[in-house]
Chains A and B, each alone.
Chain A
């Protein structure tokens, strides 16, 4: 049962609903392939085996019968020659007793003499020699020799070969059980059957194996395609959210600063101006407003960070150094929460280049999230692997509370946060995702509730040129276009001024 479970391909248990796998019913496909291929390949085999079986049986039958007849005829000829000297009847009996009685052996070789009235002259296995009684109907035996099917007195089907002895009214008869041939035929037939079964089994197994492989490949590629589609959709959605976010952030900044300055003026009037008796509550209130404005400012700044479309400067980066920088920033927080940070030896990554600040930001965001998820006591592991050529794999794993499967698809979206304090704007992972995509990399997450979360990043060793590959940069929320690589002030300013 366990073996069967292990052999069962991945697509077998997929639900057959149309929506789940873009309408592919892989199980039915598999069955159809196996059925059609099995019929196509097995039917010629079975047909040929049957034909061969019949042919062989007939050949053996004919050969046996011919052999029987030949020997009967030979014996009959010998007897005829002997009897020509003596009269039949007693002569035949004497001849039989002296020469052929020992041939009359048993079930499959019952040899005896019979006269043309059907009376047996010599003893028989199947029939008793009982005086003048006609035991076998002489009408059955026509011609000089031949083979006929008869039935014994007890109903056993018999095969009777006969040959007339020339010059006498006598007939030499040999009886065999009709299924004697079947017994003779049994062994080769068994061999043939075995061979057939083994071939059918082998062919069926290979057909099933091949169908499983092919359908498995379809399943894999289909799943990859769907995953890629989802990923693309996700990226597009994030990009449009990013554009919206930056537009909103820009538009909010102006009125926000009006509030900021007006409140500042109130504070100025209260502190710098010579107010006689201001209400004691006014100043703290105004300061609260300023504090809130600052918070809004932080959010709009984070939004702009998220939607950032600037060209990162690609430079050679020492991964170990970056990690130690990040760890230095996290050390205090981790120590307070009694969290152990594990970093296995970082392998040498020749030629690794990327935007250093982005990389630090990515590490910081992921590690901070991990620490937040663990709250107290836990292990944060940052691993760097350089196993595939051209790719760097980074894992950031924690032993924290994990993310529920329902929340897992949402974590890279802006404003999704699990933090209940007011400082979690929910932009950390969205920014991280944007940065990784900009670097030409990818991020995946695995999480078990209660056990921990593991982020796996794949970054190219050589970072590609970022999105603005045509040399221009489309700034979100404004109609301005600036060249990514400035040459001199004039062209720069002009292009900036006249979009």
Chain B
């Protein structure tokens, strides 16, 4: 299996289908449907890549992004939203998101972004491994 990917979106049909498609492409992906569950998952089984929607009931994608970046800066976050504007994109990139996609998304583009994110995460790991003796939780590959 490839990198571990967590997908967060309140559109269950969408996110499950996407997870299934990623799994068919040899990626260890699983889906959750809201922000708090996603954060709990991040704590217990930190993924490599986190794909989140911006507009979700309760906790929105920006909050999830902020919290994940605080606790697990090594996780590469990809935003996938149907509501985004240019302003949202700038904001998310500013908050540390790795990529930003507007729905409807092309699966190949998404897969390319995931692979790039995975490579970035790996090179970050090597840097932290050489510079830092205490790598943070979730930033190393299990």
Across the interface, do A253 and B18 meet the contact criterion of CB distance under 8 Å?
Answer: no
Distance in angstroms between the alpha carbons of A273 and B86 in the assembled complex: 37
Mark B23-62 against chain A: 1 for CB-CB distance below 8 A, else 0. Answer: 0110000000000000000000000000000010000101
Residues of B within 8 A of A311 (CB): 87
A-contact 0/1 string along B60-79, CB 8 Å cutoff: 10110010000000000000
B129 in contact (CB, < 8 A): no
Residue from B17, B24, B62, B104 having most chain A Cβ neighbours under 10 A: B104
Tell me the count of chain A residues lying within 8 A, CB to CB, of chain B.
Answer: 39
Asked whether B134 is an interface residue with its Cβ less than 8 Å from the other chain, the reply is: no
In the bound complex, do residue A475 and residue B85 qualify as a contact, i.e. CB atoms below 8 Å apart?
A: yes
Question: Are B17 and A261 touching (Cβ within 8 A)?
Answer: yes
Which residues in A have their C-beta under 8 angstroms from that of B55?
478
Known A272-B24, A492-B94; judge A257-B86 contact (CB<8 A): no
Bound CA span A256–B104, Å: 6
* A309 contact set on B, CB distance < 8 A: 85
A268: min CB distance to chain B, Å: 5
Instruction: Answer yes or no: A421 CB below 8 A from chain B CBs.
Output: no
Of the 9-residue stretches A166-174, A289-297, A363-371, A389-397, which lies at the interface with chain B?
A: A289-297
Counting CB contacts under 8 A, is A214 at the interface?
Answer: no
Q: How far is the CA of A318 from the CA of B25 in the complex (A)?
A: 48
Residues B83 and A258 in contact, CB atoms below 8 Å apart: no
Question: 0/1 per residue, A475-491, Cβ < 8 Å to B?
Answer: 10110001000100100
B17 touches A265 (CB 8 A): yes
Q: How far is the CB of A492 from chain B (nearest CB, A)?
A: 7
Considering only residues 178-235 of chain A, those with a C-beta below 8 Å from chain B are none
Counting CB contacts under 8 A, is B11 at the interface?
yes
* CB <8 Å contact, B87 and A475: yes
Instruction: Map CB proximity to A onto B12-24 as digits: 1 under 8 Å, 0 otherwise.
Output: 0110011011001
A462 near B: Cβ within 8 Å?
no
Which of A250, A258, A482 sits near B13, CB closer than 8 Å?
A: A258
The residue on A at minimum CB distance from B14 is: A258
- List of B residues within 8 angstroms of A259 by Cβ: 104
Q: How far is the CB of B6 from chain A (nearest CB, A)?
A: 17
Q: Does A310 contact B (CB under 8 A)?
A: yes
Whether A257 contacts B94 by the Cβ 8 Å rule is no
**B24 and A477 contacting across the interface, CB-CB below 8 Å:** no
A269 to B24, CA, bound (A): 9
Which chain A positions have C-beta within 8 A of B88? 475
Residue ID in chain B nearest A260 by CB atoms? B104
Interface size on B, residues (CB 8 A): 28
- Residue contact B104 to A293, C-beta cutoff 8 Å: yes
Closest partner residue, chain A, to B19 (CB atom): A261
A277 CB within 8 Å of chain B: no
A294 touches B63 (CB 8 A): no
Cα distance A87–B86 when bound, in Å? 136
Q: Return chain B residues, CB-CB under 8 Å to A477.
A: 83
Decide yes or no: A257 and B60 within 8 Å by CB, A262-B17, A304-B85 being known contacts.
no
CB contact between B82 and one of A250, A272, A497 (< 8 Å): that residue: A250
Asked whether, in the complex, the Cβ of A256 is within 8 Å of the Cβ of B103, the reply is: yes
A93 contacts partner chain B, Cβ-Cβ < 8 Å = no
CB–CB A265/B13 < 8 A: no
**When chains A and B are docked, how far (Å) is the Cα of A265 from the Cα of B91?**
32
Q: Which of these, A253, A272, A301, A310, contacts B87 with CB under 8 Å?
A: A310
- Of all chain B residues, the one with the shortest Cβ separation from A296 is B104
Q: Mark A379-418, 1 if CB is under 8 A from B, else 0.
A: 0000000000000000000000000000000000000000
Known A-B contacts A264-B107, A296-B104, A492-B91; the reply to A253 vs B82 at CB < 8 A is yes
Asked if B116 is an interface residue, CB under 8 A from chain A, the answer is: no
Quote the shortest CB–CB distance from B27 to chain A (angstroms): 12
Q: Are B83 and A253 in contact (CB under 8 A)?
A: yes
Could you mark each residue 452-493 of chain A with 1 if its beta carbon is under 8 Å from any beta carbon of chain B, else 0? 000000000000000000000101011000100010010011
Interface residues of B in 93-119 (CB under 8 A from A): 94-95, 102-105, 107
Closest Cβ neighbor of B108 among chain A residues? A264
- Chain B: minimal CB distance from A341 (Å): 31
Beyond A257-B103, A296-B104, 4 extra complex contacts between A and B, CB < 8 Å: A250-B83, A254-B103, A258-B17, A273-B24
Q: Which residues of A contact B (CB under 8 A)?
A: 250-254, 256-262, 264-265, 268-269, 272-273, 293-294, 296-297, 301, 304, 308-311, 473, 475, 477-478, 482, 486, 489, 492-493, 496-497
List 17 A-B pairs, Cβ < 8 Å: A250-B82, A256-B103, A261-B107, A264-B21, A264-B107, A268-B21, A268-B24, A268-B25, A297-B103, A304-B85, A308-B86, A478-B83, A482-B87, A486-B94, A492-B95, A493-B63, A493-B95
Q: Which 10 A-B pairs have the closest CB atoms?
A: A253-B82, A257-B103, A260-B104, A261-B17, A257-B104, A254-B82, A253-B103, A258-B14, A310-B86, A250-B83
